[in-house]
Structure 1
Amino acid sequence: MDLQTLKTPSLLLDIERVKRNAARMSERIKSFGAILRPHVKTHKCVEVARIQTEGHAGGITVSTLAEARAFAAQGFRDITYAVPVEPGKFSEAIELARSCQRLALITDDVSIPPALDEAARRAGLTLDLFLKVDCGLHRCGVEPDRPEALEIPRLICRAPSLRFAGILTHAGHSYHAPSHDELLGIARHERDLMKEFAARLRADGIEVPIVSVGSTPTITQVDHLDGVDEARPGNYIFFDAFQATLGSCRFDDCALTVLASVVHRDRARRKVVLDAGAIALSKDRGACELDPACGYGHVLDLEGNDLGPRVGSVSQEHGEVLVDDESLLDRLSVGSRVRVLANHSCLAAAQHSHYNVLEGGRVVDRWEIQRGW
């Protein structure tokens, strides 16, 4: 099957770039003396996870229990569920833990350790539980100087059916760093804050088995990871227009694109409309702080060369592209095809059921995406 006959919109995955990205991150984490526990939410695909974990311990990070179930069924037995667990998910998590060597959960709430301990006791299990730390994103997590930052680990350590797994954070605010210097500062702050907090816990008599950090922008920019045991980047395996604009990668490192067809051409308004809209690309605007014209994706030709225009607006199934170049507008007739490099590969991938795997410019395989909650 080739790109002229594939149904649109469809995901295209450049396997050579995937392997190159995996190898580069693998070597980087090893050079830091840390453990790589890749976040599989970017791709939700067993085949990609196997590429990421080759040569490592095999542990992964997930963002949904559906991901955890799917990956556990395919032999991944060391899983961290990196969303704070709430009581409605206790039963499902406990059942999943029975099929894993290790399922680690996270919390930032004082009510969870005693409640989870009781649920685990009734099930006859011992569960690993991390403290989620807020290092600046202010989405979830406990700031280290708050009373709960000591109280929660103490509660976990006193719970007979829980093990304190350590401390875990995510510097998601790095995605909006307005400069390389600020991004490097966020990466260093993430590392240093966690190292210092771990030292405080240990001084309080609390053993901290794992100090875990992770975001693709910070891991690609940080100068060392002294004091950190584990890194959990995810987006690096595909990268995207957002990461390339931030400087985490080059545009030719980006492995995921969306194949789309031109369904309408308006010469008077100098625009074309693609059959890839918000559902196919997502509505993430990208690194607007650095690129105000980021739109919803870069328009490429079928060989992956940037044609210049961006997807400027999206509705559910339509992506509108302004085309100032007359010769390009001539080329983009109804039925012609382009590839779109989306701003956020994680969200774009989650809109689709499978990847069309490209090697040498041709589709050579189909890999399923494990969606749902």
Structure 2
Amino acid sequence: MINKPTLLLDEGKCRSNIHQMVSKARRNNVILRPHFKTHQSHEIGQWFREEGIDKITVSSLTMAQYFAQDGWNDITVAFPTNILEIETINELAKKITLRLVVESLETVTFLAKHLTAPIHGWIKIDAGYHRTGISATNYDGISALMFAMDDADKITLDGFLLHAGHSYACRSKEAIIDIHHQSIEALDTLKKHFDHRYPPLKLSLGDTPTCSVAEDFSLVDEIRPGNFVFYDVTQSQIGSCALEQIAIAMACPVVAIHKDRNEVIVYGGSVHFSKDTIDDNGVDTFGVMVETKSNGWGDVIHGAYMKKLSQEHGTIHMPSEKITQIKVGDIVTLLPVHACTTSNLMRSYQTTADERHIARMSSL
């Protein structure tokens, strides 16, 4: 029985999302190295294994340790290497094939001096997101990094890695495809420029919008999407998925009703949903309300959305014709704006089919 905020997981939808991405990778003859930061679960990781996946991406060394404990032995940490964790790096590198991301000479120099076990290294490339990475046109800087990695005894250069995070700002499939083409062109240009000196260079691309919408990955070697395992309202708005593909939803108890304001107050706030929003026709929205059903959820309830969050409180705007159907003690269900942060905050899942508890890294 649900009596507090609970993150529901539709296993069938989740497995279908995994299968579709695996099939796309196989059609393109590229490696699917899924990013596990979204689900952070041994059990869900097993669903990927059942589809033949044996290489993964994570966002921290702690996460790499967690999945290494479950038998994953080829792991990319797609976050700029934190040299302060050198002991953890060396510990992991002795046990698995560990691939780290670098973008500065300082990092490479430190690793070359302090590594006690071999690692693989990706050079992080920035082709428009402007979060981390070295500019795709900075040939001198990239060349210096490649030389330093090649000169280090315990570092094997894999190639160039890119995350087109600016695809999340798109609002059409056409815009996503444009970013996809720009990203691939940037990586391919780099490979052609340096391939004669450092063959064979690999190209790694990873973000859910481009990997979901694009069909041609012929110029890259691997893709690293993560959010696709669940999808969310943002991905639906972007055009990455249909609402019917979203595999998680938040079930929240109703604790108060204010008909004069068309507001329903639920137990479910920023500590459950996070503060991520989307602009839905000029309104900041923290979640979209759907029909609550005994085995999960149904269609979107148009005009019903999470309009405000505080720590434990969630305020849902409800149309007048719908608010009369709600009473204190009911359970209402909302699709989250951002699956990754919502999952991270909730720490575990309850399956819709059999109410099974699935643990995450942070809940163990």
1:224-248: per-residue Cα shift (whole Å, max 9, x none)?
1122000000011100000111111
Q: Secondary structure at the match of 2:181?
A: helix
Cα pair 1:10 1:258 within 8 Å, conserved: yes
Compute the displacement of 1:179 (Å).
Answer: 2.8
- Aligned partner of 1:17 in structure 2 is 13
Match of 2:90 among 82, 89, 94: 94
1:330-365: per-residue Cα shift (whole Å, max 9, x none)?
221111111110000000000012111122xx41x2
| Identical columns (%) | 27
Structure 1: distance between partners of 2:51 and 2:215: 23
Compute the displacement of 1:301 (Å).
Answer: 2.1
Cα pair 1:202 1:208 within 8 Å, conserved: yes
Q: Does 1:354 align with 2:348?
A: yes
Q: Does 1:317 align with 2:312?
A: yes
Bigger mean CA offset, 234-243 vs 305-314:
305-314
- Aligned partner of 1:222 in structure 2 is 214
- Aligned partner of 2:25 in structure 1 is 29
Cα pair 1:35 1:56 within 8 Å, conserved: no
Compute the displacement of 1:210 (Å).
Answer: 2.1
Structure 1: distance between partners of 2:148 and 2:242: 45
Structure 1: distance between partners of 2:281 and 2:246: 17
Cα pair 2:173 2:240 within 8 Å, conserved: no
Compute the displacement of 1:291 (Å).
Answer: 4.4
Cα pair 2:172 2:239 within 8 Å, conserved: no
Q: Secondary structure at the match of 1:165?
A: strand
- Aligned partner of 2:359 in structure 1 is 368
Name the aligned partner's letter for residue 313 of structure 2. H
Cα pair 1:352 1:369 within 8 Å, conserved: no
1:40-82: per-residue Cα shift (whole Å, max 9, x none)?
0011111112212433341110012221111100111110001
Compute the displacement of 1:214 (Å).
Answer: 0.8
Match of 1:187 among 180, 198, 202: 180
Bigger mean CA offset, 302-311 vs 235-244:
302-311
Structure 1: distance between partners of 2:189 and 2:142: 13
Match of 2:242 among 222, 242, 250: 250
Name the aligned partner's letter for residue 166 of structure 1. G
1:233-273: per-residue Cα shift (whole Å, max 9, x none)?
00111000001111111101000111101111012212111
Match of 1:267 among 259, 265, 284: 259
Name the aligned partner's letter for residue 118 of structure 1. K
Structure 2: distance between partners of 1:369 and 1:23: 21
1:157-194: per-residue Cα shift (whole Å, max 9, x none)?
11111111211110000000133221110011111211
TM-score by length of 1: 0.92
1:266-316: per-residue Cα shift (whole Å, max 9, x none)?
122121111111111111113x3x743350000112232212211001011
TM-score by length of 2: 0.95
Q: After TM superposition, which residue ranges in structure 1, 4 or more long, deviate above 4 angstroms? A: none
Cα pair 2:19 2:51 within 8 Å, conserved: no
Q: CA RMSD in A?
A: 1.4
Name the aligned partner's letter for residue 15 of structure 2. K
Mind listing any 5+ residue stretches in structure 1 that lack a counterpart?
Answer: none
Matches within 5 A, 1:138-287: 138-146=130-138, 147-203=140-196, 205-286=197-278
Compute the displacement of 1:151 (Å).
Answer: 1.1
- Aligned partner of 2:40 in structure 1 is 44
Structure 1: distance between partners of 2:136 and 2:127: 8
Compute the displacement of 1:154 (Å).
Answer: 1.3
Q: Secondary structure at the match of 2:25?
A: helix
Q: Give the paired residue count.
A: 357
Name the aligned partner's letter for residue 349 of structure 1. S
